[in-house]
Chains A and B, each alone.
Chain A
Amino acid sequence: MVLEATMILIDNSEWMINGDYIPTRFEAQKDTVHMIFNQKINDNPENMCGLMTIGDNSPQVLSTLTRDYGKFLSAMHDLPVRGNAKFGDGIQIAQLALKHRENKIQRQRIVAFVGSPIVEDEKNLIRLAKRMKKNNVAIDIIHIGELQNESALQHFIDAANSSDSCHLVSIPPSPQLLSDLVNQSPIGQGVVASQNQFEYGVDPNLDVELALALELSMAEERARQEVAAQKSSEETEDKKMQE
């Protein structure tokens, strides 16, 4: 139940027309973006998500932080797939957008898709990562396609990471859906992980009755298991006696 403001960065460079992910890299990204948006919004009633592109030779904010799914859909509609991606500039602009969030209690997170070669110098990327760490911005990178970027991105994540808040997920081409693979990764498991901090996966402050019912059910189950264990132990003793 982490209270977060998340900027999602879509790579809409011309590398995204490749069909090595189903149906194309770009369409696979769009499905994953929908999944991440829904996860983040359902995770906490005050979470917000924004959307921006890093391709088309210049990063562009499509939607600032919002909970409105309709606004998100309209922002994603008819996106051009052209030009080159500017990863560094995109991260910086996303950070500026997060800086202008309404609720300052929200933690800042950037989820970036990278599916084209990174042209930025590794030193500059590490400097940028340190700046993000200084500003308490967590970064998740979903790396698809161009696997030669992996070492640079890993160094970037290592520099930006503080208390395991940043993740790099490299997903090679496969017949499975990208959204499913991301859902199984640490980025997609954000909701599940946050739910596991409470017993039975339910926050007793939000739903007292459900938590109580689960506790009673658990107590009954334990009692039943104890009775079953006693019975089985008695049966084994009887067998031994008979022998």
Chain B
Amino acid sequence: MPPAVSSETSTIVPQQVIVHPLVLLSAVDSYNRSAKGTKRRVVGILLGQNNGDVVNVANSYAIPFEEDEKNASVWFLDHNFMESMNEMFKKINANEKLVGWYHTGPQLRPSDLEINNLLKKYIPNPVLVIIDVKPKSVGLPTNAYFAIDEIEDDGSKSSRTFVHLPSSIEAEEAEEIGVEHLLRDTRDASVGTLATRVTQQAQSLQGLGQRLTEIADYLRKVVDGQLPINHAILAELQSVFNLLPNIFSGPVVSEQALESEAQRAFNVNSNDQLMSIYISSIVRAVIALHDLLDSLAASKAMEQQDIKPTVQNGEVSANAEQKA
């Protein structure tokens, strides 16, 4: 799929933003140092590569930032500090270029567009990543945004707005090792890998449940007329439903029949699985009994051998004494 282009500025909107763990670590560290326990947010610069489709955020640094909580138009960002830091980072790693900026939100703020415009002096299309340092819900702690000119249908003046971009967290091998090293004290050694896997599965299902609830809320609002119909979203949802496995065969008579058929299908499947578990447990029990009988027979044979006296060089001694 070709990258989307905003018609006003003809800028290529990235399809995905990849954030590295180092960036998250840097943001959290900066927040804990300067804004912990306050409503303030921390702002920083993102460094990495932007190849049009994918923005790879590999590094970051915080910058001095201050704002008035009551007045959104009063904020200060030290861009001279940013310029000098960029110069120094160029000397260390020329591949890591300025790709955007981050803040610890946790939501978009009214001054974000103005800050984004300030960064346009240094880079044509900066990406904004909001890093939630205190995530309350399951899922990724990052939200990526990109500023575009939104052209109104009624022909009025175009306004600048943020569009949401899909973001993911990916790590290089060295970073993975580093993260594991950092988490070595936090991981509970008594909890096995199975428990960890089950917890992860549960969290995944919880996240999936949240997404499905969001979809249901959206569709309900569309039906009630609170939101306009968006054919692109509906097409995506249709493709999601098409990908679901078809567990019902034949015509649907009623909802009850549908439920009973589904129930029967699940029962058959679970019975098959339970049958295999049952057979395997019986086999294990039989093998265990067989091993037990074998060991009993072997021990009896050993006892009989120990009782018989053995003559060696005219001396009478038992096997047990020889062993001693």
The reply to whether the CB of A92 lies closer than 8 angstroms to some CB of chain B is: yes
Interface segment among A14-22, A60-68, A156-164: the answer is: A60-68
B76 to chain A: closest residue by CB: A96
CB distance from A65 to the nearest CB of B (A): 8
CB distance from B202 to the nearest CB of A (A): 46
| Partner pick for A100 among B64, B68, B73, B114, CB 8 A cutoff | B64
A60 to chain B: closest residue by CB: B118
Q: Knowing A92-B68, A96-B66, A100-B66 touch, does A61 contact B74 (C-beta < 8 A)?
A: no
Number of B residues contacting the other chain (C-beta, 8 Å)? Answer: 15
| Partner pick for A61 among B68, B71, B73, B79, CB 8 A cutoff | B79
B78 to chain A: closest residue by CB: A64
Complex contact B76–A93 (CB within 8 A): yes
The reply to whether the CB of B80 lies closer than 8 angstroms to some CB of chain A is: yes
Complex contact A96–B80 (CB within 8 A): no
The reply to whether the CB of B241 lies closer than 8 angstroms to some CB of chain A is: no
Q: Knowing A99-B66, A100-B64, A100-B66 touch, does A89 contact B73 (C-beta < 8 A)?
A: yes
Encoded as 1 (CB less than 8 Å from any A CB) or 0, chain B from 57 to 77 comes to 000000010111001011111
Complex contact A100–B76 (CB within 8 A): yes
Binding site for A on B (CB under 8 A): 64, 66-68, 71, 73-81, 114
Interchain residue pairs with CB less than 8 A apart (8): A58-B114, A59-B73, A89-B71, A92-B68, A92-B74, A93-B75, A97-B78, A100-B78
The docked-state distance in angstroms from the alpha carbon of A59 to that of B77 is 12
| Partner pick for B75 among A63, A71, A96, CB 8 A cutoff | A96
Binding site for B on A (CB under 8 A): 58-59, 61, 63-64, 66, 71, 86, 89, 92-93, 96-97, 99-100
Is the contact region of chain B dominated by helix, strand, or loop, or is it mixed?
mixed
The docked-state distance in angstroms from the alpha carbon of A127 to that of B123 is 39
Q: Which of A86, A96, A99 has the most CB of B within 10 A?
A: A96
B64 to chain A: closest residue by CB: A100
- Known interface pairs A92-B68, A92-B74; 6 further A-B residue pairs with C-beta atoms within 8 A, sorted by A's residue number: A58-B114, A61-B77, A64-B79, A86-B73, A100-B64, A100-B78
**Which residues of chain B are near A92, meaning CB under 8 Å?**
68, 71, 74
CB distance from A19 to the nearest CB of B (A): 31
Shortest beta-carbon contacts, A-B, top 4? A96-B76, A96-B66, A64-B80, A92-B74
The docked-state distance in angstroms from the alpha carbon of A96 to that of B77 is 9
The docked-state distance in angstroms from the alpha carbon of A96 to that of B71 is 13
Complex contact A71–B80 (CB within 8 A): yes
**Which residues of chain B are near A100, meaning CB under 8 Å?**
64, 66, 76, 78
A61 to chain B: closest residue by CB: B76
CB distance from B253 to the nearest CB of A (A): 66
CB distance from A119 to the nearest CB of B (A): 13
B67 to chain A: closest residue by CB: A96
Complex contact B73–A58 (CB within 8 A): yes
**Which residues of chain B are near A71, meaning CB under 8 Å?**
80
**Which residues of chain B are near A66, meaning CB under 8 Å?**
80
Complex contact A89–B74 (CB within 8 A): yes
A92 to chain B: closest residue by CB: B74
CB distance from A49 to the nearest CB of B (A): 12
**Which residues of chain B are near A58, meaning CB under 8 Å?**
73, 114
**Which residues of chain B are near A86, meaning CB under 8 Å?**
73
The docked-state distance in angstroms from the alpha carbon of A69 to that of B77 is 21
Complex contact B81–A64 (CB within 8 A): yes
**Which residues of chain B are near A89, meaning CB under 8 Å?**
71, 73-74
The docked-state distance in angstroms from the alpha carbon of A89 to that of B75 is 9
**Which residues of chain B are near A64, meaning CB under 8 Å?**
78-81
CB distance from B19 to the nearest CB of A (A): 27
